Structure 1
Amino acid sequence: MVSHFEFLFYAFLGICTGLLAWLYVTILYGSEDLFERFRMPAWLKPSLGGLLVGIIAIWFPYIYGSGYETMDLALSGKLPLLLLLALVFIKLGATSITIASGGSGGVFAPALFQGAMLGGTFGLLLNMFFPGYATAAGAYSLAGMGGMIAGTMHAPITVVLVIFELTGDYKVILPVMTCSMLSTLMAHKLLKGQSIYTRKLIRKGINLYRGRDLNVLRGLKVGDVMIRDLALVTESTPLSSLIPKALSKPHMSFIQVDELGKITGLIPLQNILEVMRDENLRDILVAQDVANIEFPVLKVEDSLDEVIRRFGESEIEEVPVVDPLSPEVPIGVLRHNDVLQAYRKAVLKQDLGGFVADRLVRDPSRRDLDLLDGYRMVETEAPRQFHGKTIRELGISEKYGVQVILIRKSRGHASQSNPKGEEMHFVPRGNDVIDPGDKLVLVGKSGDLQELIGG
């Protein structure tokens, strides 16, 4: 560093690399989605990707391979300004095409490459406009490499340690740290906490930061657990008539509605109990006097991990669920105990699915397994009437008393939920679609299983 003003330059470079990291991750996974929509043989996609990258490389051979030689040129300041800037986006596009089309390649070296090119561009511009306040462009290439890796991986401390280990120069620590920290903050905000590696897991429903419990809850919706038995009262209902209802009904709260049937308040059982002891108040108070005006409201499509947060914030045991088309009209309630019970069932189902998957891997020919207390596990091809419908639409558990604990997708059979035609085993969720050729692993009593399979 030749000037203290350079800290501002490195800070701005950090913001730029954070934006580039966001662009890189977004285009990379957007390209994967685009190629998955192409209807063509699986072997043709890598060929098409290789053709496109080859055409690009005719004019820009610098993008070949890992690009370490080109990065050396950028660090030594031997590449012109416009080429450095162009290579940032050309490498980004070539990498996205390669990986999205099914080609072989990683994301780490291309991120280094893009950071080096962006940092080199930034360094040359600073030397052109602020020649007395900026060091050589190679130093900015080095900081750009660190900022790009920090932004895509969300690992700024690792970047600082690695670059110090590579250079052996303690003078690079503060510039690289400034750039890496700001890049991480910017990318973390834009990518909503997802790195280039964790986004792939999140797209598969696996959130490492939230842990197993909330991953299970995210797969469950309010509509799967809520009950439609409502305890409705009007605003003018006398409190004296609410007391016997509170003692006879299983609800933990009453929903107060107006003449149009819209929610105007929530009356937890605790509010009624607090005034029950005073006979004078019981005779003069009405529902509106003891109702909570501020209370949480849930929608059918809300996930249960969001519901758990709502319960924690309000400390209410029962929350109204509203109609998606009429957000002020109640259609059901969700109780805290029902959420916990649904969670326990989902965890048991997931564990059982893992056990069955392990047995299938050990003995792929096994299609029938006796469990405890008259229960059996069987694998059967999905009935024709199941095709194209979701687990939630079929209501297999409610109609037959049978649990679908595993779905096996057939190898080579491309479908809506398995576009690549690969063999897959996974524990199903409510919105998973049953495709023709799917094998269902079912658990239930022998009679219930026979009714489903035979029906």
Structure 2
Amino acid sequence: GVGASVGLEAAYAQAGAAAASFAGQRLNLRRADMRTLVGAGAGAAIAAAFGAPLTGAFYAFEIVIGAYTVANLAPVAAAALAAVLVAGKMGAIPYLLKTDTQAVQSWTDYGLYALLGLISAVLGIALMRLVANAERLVTRSPIPRWLRPAIGGVGLAALALVTPQTLSAGHGALHLNLMTELPLKMLVLLLAMKALASVISLSFGFRGGLFFASLFLGALIGQVFSALSLLIPWAPSLDPTVAALVGMAALGVAVVGGPFTMSFLVLEATGDFTVAAAALVASMIASAMVRETFGYSFSTWRLHLRGETIRSAHDVSWMRPLSAGRMMRKDVQTVPASTTLAEFRRRFPLGSTKRVIMVDETGLYAGVIPTAKAYVDGGDGEKPVASLAINADTVLKPDQTIKDVMRAFDHGETDELAVIDDKKNVLGVLSEAYATRRYAEELEKARRELTGEAG
């Protein structure tokens, strides 16, 4: 079941990242150094699994670290090269696929590969949504949590009775399909069954993702696309192996992300720059399509479903401290709603504070009273201050992000808001000026870490 979804390569990457993270915690490294170390570990594992140092390095740059900089080039490249050398000494076989046909014989071939990238993007989005919907249905079903893997295993076993390729977790099935000319019906059946196996595996509680499954499914999509091109008399025919490699890269980018990672994988596997160029075209199309219409890779999509507001590798965590609860000032001055103007003026002289939080008779939030507003009209001093309150409904919750905070300031047309909990107890107050300054500081820190300037 795990093999139907995650594959050995992704397991290696997870193990490498976990080992690097553990080492970083033991060494008490800064956030930027920790990310570089984790990226180097994951990239080295991918490099060793495929025998492809460039693939591993760009896996770290694009998917873990989020950017290529001079500062992280040396450690990531060194880790990837060392991993390949050590794996070779231990008898690991590089991931090599030789092609006998030139990938691009005319400019129309680029158009077909671009179309293959577009199709891969659509199918990748459909697969990711299908996994999420199936996982949601299984979670809401009355099936006990402990029983779900057993039921999923039975379903996977039923698919394996038709063809064991549905449980593929390594290079074997991919090599078999690339070296064997399967009929179109068999390719379509295998494509559907492998996708279903991945859905069952993930939705019924098996750990993993869609890393190798996306490569295998992409190769099948490419072979189906090549077979369909042969059925159209006026269309250029595509070599099945080349189309499979391009489809593998395109669907891998649609699901996992990293267009250069997948393009370098094809280049290092084949040694053919024309195939790599075709894969790069399809990968760029797939990446742009998924980014514009879906917005996430599969890993960030699953985190999004769990409440994490991230979109890519380089913005995973730097905005987390910028919540209303962490930025608020806790030394809040409050006043009961029944307080008279005369008493309010006595307690809060003009210039002592800009605003005072008003609470009702039970001590819960009821609004904000601008201090200057209490001195504008020198009328009846026995008048209650409740009539001066503003922003009774515009408040902040402690878990709101900087994006929601700034939107609340714009909606309330004010520069200071109260932070309350679900029961309307006053927790603190946050000013727009301070929130903006903290955002600018974190943005600058993230920029310095990204460019390697953090000291």
Partner of residue 336, structure 1: 430
Q: 1:251 to 1:52 in 2, by over 3 A?
A: farther
Residue matched to 1:89: 192
* Separation (CA, whole Å) in 2 of partners of 1:115 and 1:86: 14
Secondary structure of the residue aligned to 1:336 is strand
Tell me if structure 2 keeps the 8 A contact 1:298–1:320. Answer: yes
Q: Could you tell me which of 46, 71, 79 is aligned with 2:174? A: 71
Structure 2 counterparts to residues 1-20 of structure 1, below 5 A: 1-20=104-123
- Select 1:49's aligned residue among 152, 163, 166: 152
Say whether the 8 Å CA contact 1:116–1:144 is kept in structure 2. yes
Q: Structure 2 vs 1, CA of residues 7 and 96 (structure 1 numbering), >3 Å: closer, same or farther?
A: same
Distance change (3 Å), C-alpha of 1:26 and 1:247: farther
Distance 1:203 1:22 in 2: 18
In 2: Cα distance, 1:59 partner to 1:298 partner: 59
Counterpart Cα distance in 2 of 1:268 and 1:209: 41
CA distance 1:336–1:221, shift in 2 (3 Å): closer
CA distance in 1, matches of 2:151, 2:324: 36
Task: Output one character per residue of 1:158-181: Cα deviation in whole Å (capped at 9) or x when no partner.
Answer: 111111000000111221011111
Do 1:22 and 1:191's aligned partners in 2 also have CA atoms closer than 8 Å?
yes
In the TM superposition, what whole-angstrom CA distance separates every residue of 1:245-274 from its partner, at most 9, and x where no partner exists? x973877589xxxxxxxxxxx9999xx99x
2:319 to 198, 214, 235: 214
> For residue 401 of structure 2, what is the amino acid of its counterpart?
L
Kept in 1, the 8 Å contact 2:415–2:433? The answer is no
1:22-37 matched pairs, under 5 angstroms? 22-37=125-140
Q: Distance in 1 between matches of 2:230 and 2:259?
A: 26
Give 3-state SS (helix, strand or coil) of 1:129's partner: coil
CA distance in 2, matches of 1:154, 1:221: 32
Matches within 5 A, 1:38-437: 38-66=141-169, 68-76=171-179, 78-103=181-206, 107-130=210-233, 133-196=236-299, 199-200=302-303, 203=306, 205=308, 207=310, 209-212=314-317, 214-217=319-322, 248=350, 252=354, 303-310=400-407, 317-318=415-416, 336-337=430-431
CA shift for structure 1 position 47: 1.3
Distance in 2 between residues matched to 1:224 and 1:40, nearest whole Å: 47
Cα shift readout 1:122-160 (whole Å, capped 9, x = no counterpart): 111122215662321221111110011111121111111
Which SS does the other structure have where 2:181 is aligned? coil
SS at the partner of 1:133? coil
The letter for the 1-side match of 2:402 is: D
- What do the CA deviations read for 1:60-109 (whole angstroms, capped 9, x no partner)? 44313237444335434612223322332321121121233233665222
Q: In percent, how many aligned pairs have the same letter?
A: 22
d(CA) in 1 for partners of 2:280, 2:370:
53
SS for the counterpart of 2:296 is coil
Bigger fraction of residues in strand: 1
Does the C-alpha gap of structure 1 residues 320 and 204 become closer, same or farther in structure 2, counting only changes over 3 Å? closer
Q: Contact (CA 8 Å) 1:11, 1:178: kept in 2 or not?
A: yes
Larger Rg, first or second structure (1 or 2): 1
TM superposition score normalised by structure 2: 0.52
How many residue pairs match? The answer is: 309
Report the AA paired with residue 350 of structure 2.
S
1:42 Cα deviation from its structure 2 partner: 4.3
1:253-296 superposed Cα distances (whole Å, 9 cap, x missing partner): 89xxxxxxxxxxx9999xx99xxxxxxxx9xxxxxxxxxxxxxx
Task: Assess, with a 3 A threshold, how the Cα gap between structure 1 residues 317 and 106 changes in structure 2: closer, same or farther.
Answer: closer
Seen in structure 2, the aligned counterparts of structure 1 residues 133 and 209 have a Cα distance that, compared at 3 Å, is same
CA 1:132–1:206 in structure 2 vs 1: closer, same or farther (change >3 Å)? closer
Alpha-carbon offset, residue 111 of structure 1:
0.9
Structure 2: gaps (5+ residues): 1-103, 338-345, 357-367, 378-393, 420-425, 439-455
Calculate the aligned-residue CA RMSD, in Å.
Answer: 5.4
Distance (whole Å) between structure 2 residues aligned to residue 55 and residue 224 of structure 1: 60
Whether the 8 Å contact between 2:187 and 2:220 is mirrored in structure 1 is: yes
Partners of 1:228 and 1:94 in 2: how far apart?
Answer: 60
Cα–Cα, structure 1 residues 310 and 201, in superposed 2: closer, same or farther, change >3 Å? Answer: closer
CA distance in structure 1 between the aligned counterparts of 2:370 and 2:296, rounded to whole angstroms = 37
> Aligned-pair distance for 1:182?
1.4
Partner Cα separation in structure 1 for residue 210 and residue 270 of structure 2: 23
Q: 1:118, CA displacement in angstroms?
A: 1.1
Structure 1's 311 and 45: CA in aligned 2 closer, same or farther, altered over 3 A?
closer
* Distance in 1 of aligned mates of 2:283 and 2:187: 20
Distance across 1 between alignment mates of 2:235 and 2:401: 58
SS of the equivalent of 1:193 reads coil
Whole-angstrom distance in 2 between the partners of 1:310 and 1:105: 37
Kept after mapping to 1: 8 A contact 2:226/2:240 = yes
Q: 1:14·1:179 contact (CA, 8 Å) conserved in 2?
A: yes
**TM-score, normalised relative to structure 1:** 0.52
